Amino acid sequence: MYSEKVMDHFENPRNVGKLDDANAIGEVGNAVCGDIMKIYMKIENGIIEDVSFKTFGCGAAIATSSMATELVKGKTIEEALKLTNKAVMEALDGLPPAKVHCSVLAEEAIHAALKDYSEKTGIEIDLPETKQKFDCASFHKAQSETDA
């Protein structure tokens, strides 16, 4: 069901915990479905020097958070803005269809942290157009209707 990479990032997540000197924090999710991601970043001179996460959710949510932090660590803000849920899924060698929403949340959490940084510092960042926010309640309802 899950790739070896997903299992590795779930069992041995990278960059876990609160980053005390973070100057960018993004939180996304929905307590109703149980997936909440919080990304912490330390950005200096336009480079993401350090990044960490705290995620409450399933194994796929933890794995996608871990991989997303790995994909943006050491990158410029511009490079991190290009992170997509598809890139997260590809880096993990795929996700089951019912868990794709976890990669969407990881992308949104990274972008939310970068937006927070922009608002705190006044540094203008060309944020991607806001995608439709992931609504896990609607997703799970559609899944249950598909499964029926």
Residues 6 or more apart whose Cβ sits within 8 Å of residue 37: 27, 28, 29, 53, 54, 55, 57, 61, 65, 105, 106, 108, 109
- Residues tagged active-site: 33, 102
CB 118 within 8 A of CB 124: yes
Rounded distance between C-alpha atoms, residue 135 and residue 8, angstroms: 27
The Cα–Cα gap between 76 and 16 comes to 21
| Structure token digits, residue 34 | 């149980």
